[in-house]
């Protein structure tokens, strides 16, 4: 029998932290999930760091695009929500809109 464990949720300080986690620390950007958590709109990234339960890092905020575009230019980060991944200087994390989370992982 497979036991599904309730994930950990960790709130991040800003969208910059979420974009950095999804794009800068991975070779292939992680998907970002747009969903409602406890009645608020959030953007979240699922992280696998070897815990017994999944870890979702999130920030409060609405989704205004299809991708989070991330790059570091001249020592500063640039983060935008965009509708197309058409500029090769950016790393693009796709945004997946989740209508309803499965009851077992809320």
The per-residue pLDDT for range 4-41, each reduced to its tens digit, is: 677 888 999 999 999 999 998 778 999 999 988 788 89
CA dist., res. 102 & res. 64, Å (int): 24
DSSP for 20-71, please give it.
Answer: IIIIIT-SSPPPEEEEEETTEEEEEEEE-SS-SS-EEEEEE----SSEEEEE
Q: Tell which wins on pLDDT, 4 or 76.
A: 76
The rounded Cα 54 to chain-centroid distance in angstroms is 14
The range of the structural domain enclosing residue 75 comes to: 8-99
Domain assignment present for residue 53? The answer is yes
Our count of domains for the chain comes to: 1
Asked whether residue 24 is assigned to any structural domain, the reply reads: yes
pLDDT score of 104: 59
Mean pLDDT of 79-85: 96
């Amino acid at each position: 029998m497979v036991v599904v464990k309730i994930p950990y949720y960790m709130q991040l300080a800003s969208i910059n932290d979420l974009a950095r986690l999804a794009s800068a620390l991975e070779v292939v950007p992680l998907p970002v999930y747009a969903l409602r958590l406890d009645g608020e709109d959030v953007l979240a990234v699922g992280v696998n760091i070897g815990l017994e339960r999944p870890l979702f890092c999130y920030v409060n905020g609405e989704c205004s695009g299809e991708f989070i575009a991330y790059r570091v230019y001249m020592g500063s980060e640039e983060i935008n929500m965009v509708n197309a991944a058409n500029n090769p200087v950016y790393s693009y994390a796709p945004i997946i809109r989740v209508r309803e989370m499965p009851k077992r992982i809320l």
